[in-house]
Structure 1
Amino acid sequence: MLGLATQISAQQIPADTTQMDSIRLDEVLVAAVRATRESPVTFSNLNSERIETRNLGQDIPILMNYLPSVVTTSDAGAGVGYTGIRVRGSDATRVNVTINGIPYNDSESHGTFWVNMPDFASSTENLQLQRGVGTSTNGAGAFGASLNVLTEAVSEDAYASLAGSAGSFNTHKATLKFSSGLLKEHFEVSGRLSRIRSDGYIDRASSDLDSYFLQGAYLDENTLVKALLFGGHEITYQSWYGFDPATLGAIGVDNDLESNRTFNIAGIQFDDSGNFEGFYENQVDNYKQDHFQLHWNERWTRAFQTNIALHYTRGRGFFEEYVDEWYYTNILFAPDASYAFLGLDNPVIDGEEQTTTDYIRRRWLDNDFLGTVFSAIHNSGPLELTLGGGWNTYRGDHFGELIWARYSGSLERGDRYYNDDSRKDDFNVFAKANFTAGDHWRFFADMQYRSVAYEANGADTGLVDDTFGFFNPKLGLTYQFRPGSSLYFSYAVANREPNRNDYEGGNPRPERLHDLELGWRSLGEQLTLNANLYYMRYKDQLVLTGQLNDVGAPLRANVGDSYRTGLEIDADLRISPRLRWQPNIALSINRNVDYFFRRDGELTSLGDTEIAYSPGVVAGSRLVWSPAEDLQLGVLTKYVGDQYMSNIEAEGSRLEAYSQTDLNVQYRIPASGGFPEITLTGLVNNLFDAKFSSNGYFYTYDDDFSNPGVVTTIEGAGYYPQAGIHFLAGARVRF
């Protein structure tokens, strides 16, 4: 029945046919880093059937919005372009992401930029989100969650499909997919081409996105070899500065969020007297990223199998911006418009020395990321043993290029005003053991050692040459009361290095997490129920401060002792053969312990304060009704409670609670009489037209100019408004 298929993991798939065996071989690509229902790990799965019902052009984080403890946001306001995800209050830099077991997080920022791989959901077989530390994986350690994505499995049957969608804000998507099916019973070639365009809800927050996915595979009874080439090119008009009422008021723009919520300040231009002149038309982020993966999985015996993968990622691009002399000097009070900032001598124009100028710059990132990951799994009797690890290296060139200036002086087009490089080497090995004792007990142990070396020499970071060695142990047990019902407990330690932006604030310390999870799972024919308690205790946690740097990236700082504790419950209730309800709720307390803050020149203890961007209540619901065999109607609701955008509980930093409801419709016309299969999909986002901001920022600075001798702390906040009611509709034809 359409849409009512359960969310399944590899371990729940029977292996009684050749086809099932081939699927299991695909699943082995991620088996070393995934959890099963017997694991003492808290997780949720999302399969391609669930993804397909809403896959009309929005990013993977938006498609994950209704999973437990998940909060998502979109800079452009409608889910296309730059999007973000938080899990248990931890932002995307703390969510470890792998694709087929290969690290995807950016090595320096630790962020995940799904905009670089548009429409990747169309090439996803399934994904698993592990909350908390989870199992050992590759790449940066998980401090809030880990997300591992499995790309499409080998298809035995040849097919071609063409999908298109269109909707609000001039959003449209076109996707072409194909598979040769198994040729000579062993070989398959498949691929995808996608194009997504959107004007965005926010003014000029346009997205121009292209992507591709190409796979070649060799498959026999015990061998799977896959070569994958995928990537994308994104051009998005910048919208990462949000809506800042204080700044808009200073330049004479309507700063009422309710009446002017789509205003985008990026690219703004003024004359020498501060009169508004318009916006720079090419204030864009322009980036290309290509990925290559080669996987070899071999099942040597029924009890022993290995997997080894090589990977290489090539990224290059820039964001272009107009630096307005008046705006930077009089509003931002930033030095960027000065010749001294650019490392140039002040030119003399008509006998007058110029110290500042309007100009256009491009800030480039040119990087390479390559390495290998490997694993071996031995399953004999009561003991399952997994050995694995990986080695990855990153090289990044950062440079700024000048392409125009009003008063050029000695400036030549293409001159670089900064030029620095960075290097990161990451090595890890891990061993996991699962031991089943009798009919009820299952013991779990997981030990990982990770070594990280990072070098950088940027003006923002200073000279960095740090080496870290981390030991990350995990222990757990599962007790099965009866088939389908079990209780689990786990204790895990995770350590994590600072990212590039952390070094802007000085000399950050690595952070450590102790994670305790106690959970209960019950799997029945009519009701599946998962409940878990967690306690995450941090030392030197790098929490978001609420502030952004000059390129719109969130800044973090060490806070000493802090903790997150909560209760998560999710259920899957089959009310009738055609009606299904999947609710979830997460209740949490997130606190900094004895937090200090410098206000009005005095260092003050604020006691225990709420951790920024950590709502105490996050709830979701998915109600699905299939009135006919091939028709599905879904109502999806999300509620996110109040949260602070700072760690000082300032009232001006409060982000109000909000709720959103989406209506999802899908109708499939089966293939018959030589006609192809046709699937029609509709999505009404924010059905009740709620006006809310799902993200924002908060800043403070000391003002010692207004009243000499007196330091006054000034506060301000910005917001990322999300679109009201809007829609997407699409059709897919499969031959």
Structure 2
Amino acid sequence: MKNLFLFLTLLVLSVSAKAQQNQQIQDSTKTEKLDEILLSATRAKDKTPVAFTNITKEALESTNLGQDLPILLDQLPSVVTTSDAGAGVGYTGIRVRGSDATRVNVTINGIPYNDAESQGTFWVNMPDFVSSVEDIQLQRGVGTSTNGSAAFGASLNIKTLSPSTEGYATTTNAVGSFGTRKHNISIGSGIINNFYAEGRLSNIQSDGYIDRARADLNSYYVETGFLNEKTSVKAIVFGGKEETYQSWYGTPEAVVNNDRDGIQAFIDRNYPSEAESQNLLNSGRTYNFYTYDNEVDNYQQTHYQLHASHQFNKRFSANISGNYTRGKGYFEQYKDGEELGDYFPNSPNASDEGDVIRRRWLDNDFFALVYSLNYKKENLSLYLGGGFNSYKGDHFGEVIWDSFSSEVPIRNNYYFSYGDKKDYNTYLKAEYNISSNLFALLDLQYRKVDYESVGTSSDLVDIDVKESYNFFNPKFGLTYNVDNFNSIYGSFAVANREPNRDDLTKNPIRPKSESLHDFEFGYKLKTSNFYATANLYYMNYKDQLVLTGDLDDVGDPIRQNVDKSYRAGIELQTGYKVSEQLRIDANATFSQNKIKDFDYVVYDTQYDPNTYDTVSYQPVVTSFEDTDISFSPNVIFGSTLTFSPIKNGNIALLSKYVGKQYLDNTSSDSKSIDAYFVNNLNVSYKFQPKWIKEIAINLLVNNLFNSEYVSNGYTYSYYYRPEASLDAPVTENFYYPQATTNFLVGATLKF
């Protein structure tokens, strides 16, 4: 990598500081035209009858100081974000309309990014990726998703940097609270005889707000390509290596609330060690369950992309893209008081007890091919496209140290399973200007998914999954331009999606695939100084897989099918340029997110007080009707007040309100996250001294008013019977506290 970086640096230095102005304009025009071909089938345009928001690299620059991509998108409509470590670095998450990351379709240059098995997105594997992004489009609802898993809440469409017409070098360095620091350097050659090359290296480190929740994140991005008036070919390699100390366990409710009696009651019924009891009693809201020095997640992921676009004539164009992603890593755990039989059940000394250090590995390969053929004539645009994805993943565990009295085969796999998933899709999309004021969209997609998993789970349970799914996903919509400033639109879309790996391998009842009918209706007003939008949506689900609020033993959420459920609401956006110095932007979502009926199960496990053997294990079922879907607040509000007192100087107040969220689907106030209101301050200033192209100074003060809030959590219930008369189940709530007032400050130098 160092040699490649040196080569790119020399290439930049070989380019003159300024190209001819007319050549820059020509290069910029053809770049934009060919990029449009690449993403034409997946991007929403002004006339597209869906709800979407675009955010440019310029809009992200002042806050891109080391926090992960979800945190930088927190101000978008219907968005709620969270951070396990509390400070936005490491494992972070995003929900849109109450739907978590497994239900948000993510593509990078049209290539699916969601993990094929879990369907989640792990931005910790691509730290500082925003520094290589040209723009991001968030489509809410089903949207125009065509590649990868179906969107059940939103689509996040990411486009990497367009090639610069000039050579450049840029470096950003930032420091902040909790030992957070970011350092990167980016260089580019500019376009030289139709060729160009660009690259970036980044390092981000943080100690985290939560105890020991440190992160050491490295990433890179390299792109080289060729383009002329009709053809673009570019090769991109990007990836990252992360090591994060685990903070997945969360913090018990009593610890978050500093409830000493509650903490003691938690200790009394969970029997922790003396050291862990002291950890619970003395840590406060930054508590971390994990104390072993190397309780880390260690993973590396590399993406190889190749894109080719060609304009055959004024009517026909095409693009084809290939991708290979290589990922491998593990998380390490110290476990005390284990039985040898939990790892090697056939051992003659299976009841032997001891301590263990184990690693659980994931080793995977992902291949993707996507294409589209595009035809445009006057008022008609046609797109015929599709893709094929293939995923192979090995899951295995090894013991790297133990204190068993019996000999243990160190580093031999104590479990192994593999997953094999193939995903095919093809679509035909038509856009037609029926008149100067009326625009129509029709999108028909067929998708086939085959998934197989064989082996043994981490719980030493045999896995035997072989499922096939066939989905038809039509979309239809109309947009009517009332005049030059006002328009209305409406759309209907169907989405279907398969269960993920955990749904298929860990649920005692084999889950069903899900189906969504999404109805959207909106209004847009846009003038030179003012815009306003209103979007009504009704998302009707069949067999939706909803979060129960509980986690499995590796911190992944557990889900269950519910027969009938829906999400309905209105999304409002507005922005007003009051003057050259003052601008106001705001958005709000008001919604209802309901499950019509479902059965809530708590298992009543009774033990023999002398032997601790299980005496009985019975499900206790409670039926609920018309309850709120977990993690789906009814109110979300965001606003940005921007004041520009001097040229190139901005002061922005970013405010976010998130209403009450329930940890499970029972609508119980005792299992909920309180509403919170958080304000951040962003100050930026750019200037151009003679010796450098630009210097930008950026300051971000998060949680300006020191609010103590939590943004995520989980819950589970069980029967605890120290006395025969105790019949009510006990509920344990765990939360993820977010950092109190903290700051990041950085400087970007552009050469």
* TM-score when normalising by structure 1: 0.91
Displacement of 1:154:
0.8
Q: Separation in 1 of the partners of 2:233 and 2:596?
A: 50
The alignment partner of 2:330 has SS state of: strand
- Mapped pair 1:647 → 2:665: yes
Q: 1:461 to 1:257 in 2, by over 3 A?
A: farther
Q: Separation in 2 of the partners of 1:220 and 1:369?
A: 31
8 Å contact 1:254–1:260 — kept in the other structure?
Answer: no
Which stretch shifts more, 110-119 or 461-470? 461-470
Count of matched residue pairs: 691
- Mapped pair 1:321 → 2:333: yes
1:204-283 aligned at under 5 Å gives the runs: 204-244=212-252, 245=254, 250=270, 251=272, 253=277, 260-266=284-290, 279-283=291-295
The alignment partner of 1:400 has SS state of: strand
8 Å contact 2:393–2:418 — kept in the other structure?
Answer: yes
- Mapped pair 1:430 → 2:430: no
Q: 1:709 to 1:496 in 2, by over 3 A?
A: farther
Displacement of 1:355:
2.5
Which stretch shifts more, 310-319 or 296-305? 296-305
The AA in structure 2 aligned to 1:721 is P
Quote the residue 2:50 is aligned against: 41
The AA in structure 2 aligned to 1:319 is F
The AA in structure 2 aligned to 1:473 is P
Q: Find 1:588's aligned residue among 588, 591, 598.
A: 591
Quote the residue 2:16 is aligned against: none
Q: 1:310 to 1:257 in 2, by over 3 A?
A: farther
8 Å contact 2:132–2:161 — kept in the other structure?
Answer: yes
The alignment partner of 1:169 has SS state of: helix
Quote the residue 2:296 is aligned against: 284
The AA in structure 1 aligned to 2:675 is A
Q: Separation in 2 of the partners of 1:625 and 1:84?
A: 30
8 Å contact 1:30–1:148 — kept in the other structure?
Answer: no
8 Å contact 1:170–1:198 — kept in the other structure?
Answer: yes
1:146-165 aligned at under 5 Å gives the runs: 146-165=155-174
Unaligned runs of 5+ in 2: 1-23, 255-262, 605-618
The AA in structure 1 aligned to 2:507 is G
8 Å contact 2:692–2:750 — kept in the other structure?
Answer: no
Q: Separation in 1 of the partners of 2:411 and 2:111?
A: 36
The AA in structure 2 aligned to 1:531 is A
Q: Separation in 1 of the partners of 2:283 and 2:189?
A: 53
Q: 1:595 to 1:139 in 2, by over 3 A?
A: same
The AA in structure 1 aligned to 2:667 is E
- Mapped pair 1:691 → 2:708: yes
8 Å contact 2:352–2:404 — kept in the other structure?
Answer: no
Q: 1:677 to 1:404 in 2, by over 3 A?
A: same
Q: 1:315 to 1:462 in 2, by over 3 A?
A: same
Q: 1:395 to 1:720 in 2, by over 3 A?
A: same
Quote the residue 2:436 is aligned against: 439
The AA in structure 2 aligned to 1:61 is P
Q: Find 1:717's aligned residue among 726, 733, 747.
A: 733
Displacement of 1:415:
1.6
Displacement of 1:605:
2.2
8 Å contact 1:56–1:165 — kept in the other structure?
Answer: yes
Q: Find 2:364's aligned residue among 364, 367, 383.
A: 367
Q: Separation in 1 of the partners of 2:45 and 2:425?
A: 22
The alignment partner of 1:607 has SS state of: strand
Displacement of 1:710:
8.4
Quote the residue 1:88 is aligned against: 97
Displacement of 1:387:
1.3
1:360-399 aligned at under 5 Å gives the runs: 360-399=357-396
1:174-197 per-residue CA deviation (whole Å, 9 max, x = no partner) reads 00000011112x000000000001
- Mapped pair 1:551 → 2:565: no
The AA in structure 2 aligned to 1:479 is Y
Q: Find 1:403's aligned residue among 384, 400, 405.
A: 400
Which stretch shifts more, 572-581 or 75-84? 572-581
1:439-487 per-residue CA deviation (whole Å, 9 max, x = no partner) reads 2111111110000000112436731000000000111111110123210
The AA in structure 2 aligned to 1:427 is Y
Q: Percent identity?
A: 48
Q: Separation in 2 of the partners of 1:562 and 1:454?
A: 26
The alignment partner of 2:37 has SS state of: helix
The AA in structure 2 aligned to 1:262 is T
8 Å contact 1:323–1:360 — kept in the other structure?
Answer: yes
1:562-591 per-residue CA deviation (whole Å, 9 max, x = no partner) reads 000000001121111221111000000000
Q: Separation in 2 of the partners of 1:472 and 1:548?
A: 31
8 Å contact 1:227–1:294 — kept in the other structure?
Answer: yes
Q: Separation in 2 of the partners of 1:160 and 1:77?
A: 33
Quote the residue 2:616 is aligned against: none
8 Å contact 1:136–1:446 — kept in the other structure?
Answer: no
Displacement of 1:714:
2.6
Q: Separation in 1 of the partners of 2:33 and 2:744?
A: 35
Q: 1:682 to 1:455 in 2, by over 3 A?
A: same
8 Å contact 1:611–1:647 — kept in the other structure?
Answer: yes
1:38-77 aligned at under 5 Å gives the runs: 38-77=47-86
The AA in structure 1 aligned to 2:651 is L
Displacement of 1:428:
0.4
Q: Separation in 2 of the partners of 1:77 and 1:28?
A: 40
The AA in structure 1 aligned to 2:302 is D
- Mapped pair 1:633 → 2:642: no
- Mapped pair 1:302 → 2:302: no
Q: Separation in 2 of the partners of 1:671 and 1:40?
A: 46
Quote the residue 2:490 is aligned against: 489
Quote the residue 1:661 is aligned against: 679
Q: Separation in 2 of the partners of 1:675 and 1:39?
A: 42
The AA in structure 1 aligned to 2:307 is H
The AA in structure 1 aligned to 2:149 is A
Which stretch shifts more, 315-324 or 409-418? 409-418
Q: Separation in 2 of the partners of 1:67 and 1:255?
A: 38
Q: Separation in 1 of the partners of 2:576 and 2:30?
A: 30
Which stretch shifts more, 111-120 or 522-531? 522-531
Q: Separation in 1 of the partners of 2:436 and 2:112?
A: 36
- Mapped pair 1:136 → 2:145: yes
The AA in structure 1 aligned to 2:289 is I
The alignment partner of 1:519 has SS state of: strand
Q: Separation in 2 of the partners of 1:169 and 1:257?
A: 22
1:202-252 per-residue CA deviation (whole Å, 9 max, x = no partner) reads 000000000000000101011111100000000000001110246566436
Displacement of 1:408:
5.3
8 Å contact 2:218–2:242 — kept in the other structure?
Answer: yes
The AA in structure 2 aligned to 1:57 is G
Q: Find 1:190's aligned residue among 198, 203, 207.
A: 198
The AA in structure 2 aligned to 1:723 is A
